[in-house]
Amino acid sequence: MTFVLRDSNPVRLTILAIGLALARIGVIDRERAVETTDLAWPRVVTGLARMSKGAVDVAMVGVAVGTAAVAGVGVAGPYWGLAFALGGGVAGGTIALVSQRFGAEAHDELALAVRSSTLLVVAISVPVSVVFWLFPYELVTPIASSERAIEYGATYLRVVGLGIPFAGLNLVGSRTLVGADDAYTAMQVRAGGAVANIALNAVFIFGLEWGVAGAALGTVLSNVAVTAVFAVGIARGRAPGIGEFPVQIDPFGRYYDVGTLTDLVSIGTPIGARNLVWTVAEFPMLTVLAIFGEPTLAAFVIARRIWGIMNTPGWGFGLAASSLVGQSLGKNDERGAEAYGRDIVRFSLATYVLFAVLIALFADRIVVLFAEDPTSPEIPIAVNLVYAACVAVLFQGVGGAAAGPLDASGDTRIPFLSQALGVFFGAIPLAYLGATTSLGYWGLYLAFLAEASVPAAINYWRFRTNKWKAISEGYRPDSATPSD
C-alpha cells in the first residue's frame, strides 16, 4: 500500500511530470529530476498540509468569530513564527551536518549531530514559551489595530506559545530524516500532524466554541503528538503505523559536544536569522497596515496565508537541494553537487509557474473562504494582493532553491543578508509609501515583489560563484577524504 501511495500521489505525479518534461527538452538531467522529485514531493505535501492548516485556522476563526479575530491571530502570528525561526535555524544546521555524514557513512557523528540539535533547540525555545505565557498582552498591544484584536491576539499567543519547543523539535526530526534521504517518512509524520490539527481545531472552535483559544490549543496538541512520533521513531528505528526510519539513534548517548554545537550554531544562526527576518519584519509591516485600516490588515493576513500555500514547492526543492548537494559534498563530489543545485533551481522555477497560475485563476473563490461575509470589505483587497503574490512567488522559487546548496555547504550568511535586504530595504519601505502617499495599494503589491526578487537575485549569484564549495570543506565529516 505504501508503494502505491508513493507512486500514485498526485503531487508526486505532477512534480515528476514537470521534471520529465524539462529533461525531455534538455533543461535538466532526467536522473536528477527523478531523485529530486522523490525527495521534494513529500516535503511539498507536508508544506501544503501545514500551510493549509494555517489557512484553515484563519478561515475557521474568521467564520466563527469575525474580522477582529482574524486580525488578532495575525498580530500573534509573528511571535509564533519565532518557533520556526529558532527551531528552523537549528534544523538548518542539522540537515547540513546529517546529509554530509550520511553521505560519508559517518553514523556516530550523525547521531551526535542529532542529539546536539535536540539539546540546542530545547535550550533556546523554552525561555521563549515562558515569556509568551507571562506577557502576551504587552507583546501584541504595540501592533494590534483595536482593543478586540489585542484581546484575541493575547489569548492566542499565551496558549500557542506552549507549543514552541515541540515545533522546534519537529523541525529537527524532519530535517534528520530528509538529510538521511527519506523525506517520505517525515511527510507522513508532519502532514499527519497537520491533518490532526485541523480536526482538533474544528472541534475546539465550532464544537466547544473556544474561538481563538481553541485554534491555539489544537496547534499545541498536534505538535506534541508529532514530537512523540519522531522521538519514538528515531530512538527505535521505526514507529507504529509509520514503518522503518532511515536512522536509529540511541537517546542516551552524548548530547553536549562543543565542536558539534559550534558547527550547529555557525551554520544555523544565519538560517535562523533568515527565518527571523520576516517574523521581525511583520511588526513594522503590521504597524504600516494599521494605517490602511483593519480590513486591509485582515486582507493582508489572508493573502499571506495563501502566499504560504503557493510557496510550498520551495519547502521541497530547498530541502531536496540541501540533502542531495550535502550528500555529494560528503562524498567530495563537488561537480555533482553543483549539477544538483543548478537543475533544482530550474526545476523549482517551472513548478512555481504552474502553482502560481492555478492560484491566480481561482483567487477570488479562494479568498471568500476566509470571511464570515462574502461581501466583507477585505475580500477585494485580499484578491488583488493574491494576484501580486502570484507574480512575486516566481522569484521565490529561484531564491529558495538557490539557497539550498548554500545551506548544505554551510554558506548560510548570504541567504540571510539577501532576505534582510529584500524585506527591510524593499518590502517595508514600499508598503509605508503606499500607506502615506498616493502610491496606495501599489505599495503593497510592490512589497511582495521586492521581498522575493532581491533574495532570488543575490542567492542565485552566490550559487554561481561556487564559493560555497570551499566553505563546505570546513563542515565535512572527519571520515571524508580531501577533495581533489
In 3-state terms the chain splits into helix, strand, coil percentages (rounded to 5) of 85, 0, 15
Residue 436 is placed in which grid cell? 502615506
Query: How many whole angstroms separate alpha carbon 382 and alpha carbon 141?
Result: 24
Q: Please check whether residue 144 is in contact with residue 150, taking contact to mean a CB–CB distance below 8 angstroms.
A: yes
Give the pLDDT of residue 460.
Answer: 93
Q: Which residue has the cell 559534498?
A: 329
For the chain, 484 residues long, give each residue's pLDDT as a single digit of tens. 333 345 567 878 888 899 999 999 999 899 999 888 888 887 777 766 666 666 666 666 666 666 666 666 766 777 777 766 777 778 777 877 887 787 777 788 888 888 988 899 889 889 988 988 998 877 777 766 667 777 777 888 888 888 889 988 988 888 888 778 777 788 778 878 878 888 887 888 777 877 777 888 888 898 899 999 999 888 888 888 788 888 888 888 888 888 888 888 887 777 777 777 767 777 788 788 878 887 888 888 888 888 888 888 887 888 788 778 877 887 788 888 889 889 999 999 999 998 899 999 988 888 887 766 667 777 888 899 999 999 999 998 899 889 888 888 878 788 889 988 998 999 999 999 998 998 999 999 999 999 999 999 999 999 999 888 888 777 766 544 444 4
Q: Please check whether residue 443 is in contact with residue 385, taking contact to mean a CB–CB distance below 8 angstroms.
A: no
**Angle value at C-alpha 175, between 49 and 94, nearest 5 degrees:** 150
The DSSP result for 447-467, as a single string, is HHHHHHHHHHHHHHHHHHHTH
Give the pLDDT of residue 5.
Answer: 47
- Count Cβ atoms below 10 Å from residue 339 Cβ, excluding itself: 17
List residues bridging with 244 in a β-sheet.
238
**How many helices (H) and strands (E) in the chain?**
20, 2
Residue 55 is placed in which grid cell? 489557512
- Count Cβ atoms below 10 Å from residue 236 Cβ, excluding itself: 13
Give the pLDDT of residue 263.
Answer: 82
Closest CA to 326 of 213, 155, 175: 175
Closest CA to 158 of 266, 48, 79, 105: 79
The DSSP result for 398-451, as a single string, is HHHHHHHHHHHHT--HHHHHHHHHHIIIIIHHHHHHHHHSTTTTHHHHHHHHHH
Residues 6+ apart with CB under 8 A from 395: 449, 452, 453, 455, 456
E strand spans, 179-307:
238-239, 243-244
The SS3 of residue 226 is helix
Contacts 24+ apart (CB under 8 A), 278-283: 278/81, 278/419, 278/423, 278/451, 279/78, 279/79, 279/81, 279/82, 279/84, 279/85, 280/78, 281/423, 281/424, 281/427, 281/428, 282/77, 282/78, 282/81, 283/78, 283/142, 283/143
| Whether this model's pTM surpasses 0.75 | no
Q: Please check whether residue 98 is in contact with residue 475, taking contact to mean a CB–CB distance below 8 angstroms.
A: no
E strand spans, 76-202:
none
